[in-house]
Amino acid sequence: MAKALIICELKNDKPVKASLEIASKAISLGYETTAIVMGNGNDIVQDLSQCGVSEIIVGKTQNYSGESYAHLISAVIKDNNFELILMPHTWQARDISGRISAILQTSVISDIVELEIKDNKLVAKKPIYAGKAYAKLASRGKYKIFTVRPNSFEIIEKKSQPQTREISVDTSKNKTRREELQSSRADKMGLTEANIIISGGRGVKGPEYFPVLQELADLLGAALGASRAAVDAGWIDHSHQVGQTGKTVSPTLYIAVGISGAIQHLAGMGSSRYIVAINKDKEAPIFKVATYGIVQDLFEIIPELKTQLKALKG
């Protein structure tokens, strides 16, 4: 049985959902699957044993370091001859996958949304031009490494009793020093991993309305997004921008508030599973991609939405 390695990412000491998604994918493709995870978490084994991995390698460390993670993971891949390597396409994958590519002298195929075996090849599909088109491609390397966009694959429950072993993480040779910022909102949901995103656009008319949308986002456990128009106007930080020059996202639910739907924005969120659009202009292009649309002033809809959601969530 060919072997796969999934690089499991933690948030608040728990595996992120996307880690379980890729484990399920590797297993459903018929691979004997090992998970490697860096950090400290009591629930790691418990959570990963729900999706059928046969082995867990834990690198005990307190500090995140893309550089040392990449070297360690590369060594593990080499030593164990993993054929397929998957990791969630999050910030961390962006920080380590390129390094692994160089260390193992092989290509990494990034931000894939589909993976299948066809004519004995692992064929992946990935959005290009922020989602205006897709490329289908395969890896010719000995190690086939892919980063996978969160929410692309289903989690398939399958209980297992994985063996666990620990390895040490050496961060002493790091070429950078990292300090976390006190003001960091690391507890907040990041856009690329979010299951639900609420985004505001030009229609929200000013910076003061984003805290209102943030409250709505908190109610739903959602991440806060924005259109380029809102970011360019200085109403909200660029890290929230969805679209071709911001983040490309595929949440289960995308709620566009006061966003008309410029081509760059539609590219960046058009692969969301369901889209809700709230805009008073019925000609707005966003309605062409919306699952549900409400043509009305957002300043009337949003307060009502908040009231009813509060009632629903108790």
Task: Tell me which residues in 43-102 interact with another protein (CB under 8 A).
Answer: 66-67, 70, 90-92, 94-99, 101-102
Instruction: Return the structure tokens found at 198.
Output: 């609420």
Options 42, 79, 159, 179; binder of another protein; rule CB under 8 A? 179
From CA 73, how far away is CA 212, in angstroms rounded? Answer: 42
Please tell me whether residue 220 binds another protein under the rule CB under 8 A: yes
From CA 183, how far away is CA 187, in angstroms rounded? Answer: 11
Options 108, 112, 169, 198; binder of another protein; rule CB under 8 A? 108
Tell me which residues in 221-260 interact with another protein (CB under 8 A): 223, 231, 237-239, 241, 244-246, 248, 252-253
Amino acid, single-letter form, for residue 226: A
Instruction: Return the structure tokens found at 53.
Output: 């991995």
The closest of 176, 189, 187, 205 to 247, measured between CA atoms, is: 189
Please tell me whether residue 173 binds another protein under the rule CB under 8 A: no
Please say which residue, 11 or 25, places its beta carbon nearer to another protein.
11
Strand 253-257 and strand 108-112: pairing? unpaired
State the SS3 of 221-248. CCEEEECHHHHHCCCCCHHHEECCCCEC
Options 43, 218, 281, 300; binder of another protein; rule CB under 8 A? 300
Tell me which residues in 180-219 interact with another protein (CB under 8 A): 180-181, 183-190, 192-193, 196
| Minimum separation from the CB atom of position 191 to another protein (A) | 8
Please say which residue, 2 or 102, places its beta carbon nearer to another protein.
102
Please tell me whether residue 270 binds another protein under the rule CB under 8 A: yes
The closest of 79, 114, 76, 116 to 96, measured between CA atoms, is: 76
Please say which residue, 48 or 224, places its beta carbon nearer to another protein.
224
| Minimum separation from the CB atom of position 85 to another protein (A) | 14
The closest of 33, 193, 247, 25 to 114, measured between CA atoms, is: 25
Tell me which residues in 1-30 interact with another protein (CB under 8 A): 11
Count of positions on this chain that bind another protein (CB under 8 A): 97
Please say which residue, 59 or 88, places its beta carbon nearer to another protein.
88
Options 29, 45, 103, 156; binder of another protein; rule CB under 8 A? 103
Dihedral of the CA atoms 236, 238, 241, 243 (nearest 10)? 140
| Minimum separation from the CB atom of position 163 to another protein (A) | 29
Distances (CA, A) of 307 to 181, 209, 216, 223: 34, 16, 10, 19
